[in-house]
Homo-oligomer: A and B are copies of this chain.
Amino acid sequence: MAMETQEPGDGRTDSIGPWAARAADPQYRAAVLDLLGALAYGELSAFERLAEDAKFAPGITEKAALARMASAEYQHFQLLHDRLAEVGADPVAVMEPFVEPLENFHRMTAPSDWLEGLVKAYVGDAIATDFYREVAVRLDDDTRELVLRVMSDTGHAGFAVERVRQAIAEDPRVGGRLALWGRRLMGEALSQAQRVVAERDALSNLLVGGAQVRGFDLVEVGKMFNRITETHTKRMAALGLAS
């Protein structure tokens, strides 16, 4: 895969103004509703899968750690849901188009044991943070503030790193298996994301070019995915996993 050296956005950007001013543009409004709907259902399905993966936890401490992450995802869902209602959208209708891609992703990446669950929790949390950072720079002030608030509360998955490293130290073959698993997680995430991009024009335009860019730019989408993939690769290496 071609390497893309451009740095991901750092969350700072020139303001494009408050929501109230931008939302007058129906295409911008549609794009932000799509984004919030995708994020909201993403959080709800992440809650559900983390909670389900808690069944693999080897002890109470580990079960509680996954439950804490799941609970944080639910809080994010609530914030995003309430914001959708606040701007006059029907949260359920807005989330609907993203149910199938997200359920597909989780169905294709159901962990078969505790370590796969840990890697998925860690990788999923990290990819979500990268995506939030990418998208935040293209948003109006109010939506950006919400997205950054949800993002600032992630990172609960740090506990996974030590456990995974320890498991690899005890049995190096585990590393090979989990490296394959990490690749599969990223592959399935990209596959479902490509599908969403293909089907949701307004959202795609927002993701790649900000509200100003009307034209659908596949090259820009590819660059964003490359940046996220590159960060994922570095992260897997830090975890002791070749990706």
Kindly provide the distance from the CB of A113 to the nearest chain B CB, expressed in whole angstroms: 17
* Chain B residue at minimal CB-CB distance from A91: B60
Instruction: Tell me whether chain A's interface is mostly helix, strand or loop, or mixed.
Output: helix
Instruction: Kindly report how many copies of this chain are found in the complex they form together.
Output: 2
- In the complex, are the beta carbons of A92 and B59 less than 8 A apart? yes
User: Which residues of chain A in 140-174 are interfacial with respect to chain B, using CB atoms and an 8 Å cutoff?
Assistant: none
A95 beta carbon closer than 8 Å to chain B? yes
A221 beta carbon closer than 8 Å to chain B? no
Query: Which residues of chain B come closer than 8 Å to A75, judged between CB atoms?
Result: 71
A218 beta carbon closer than 8 Å to chain B? no
With contacts A68-B78, A71-B71, A74-B68 known, is A54 near B63, CB below 8 A? no
- In the complex, are the beta carbons of A60 and B48 less than 8 A apart? no
A61 beta carbon closer than 8 Å to chain B? yes
Query: Which residues of chain B come closer than 8 Å to A55, judged between CB atoms?
Result: 48, 52
A63 vs B48: C-alpha distance when bound (angstroms): 9
A217 beta carbon closer than 8 Å to chain B? no
A78 vs B67: C-alpha distance when bound (angstroms): 10
Q: Which A residues fall within an 8 A CB radius of B?
A: 41, 44, 47-48, 51-52, 54-55, 59-61, 63-64, 67-68, 70-71, 74-75, 77-78, 81, 91-92, 95-96, 99
A-B contact pairs, 8 of them (CB 8 A): A44-B64, A44-B67, A48-B67, A60-B91, A60-B95, A60-B99, A64-B81, A70-B74
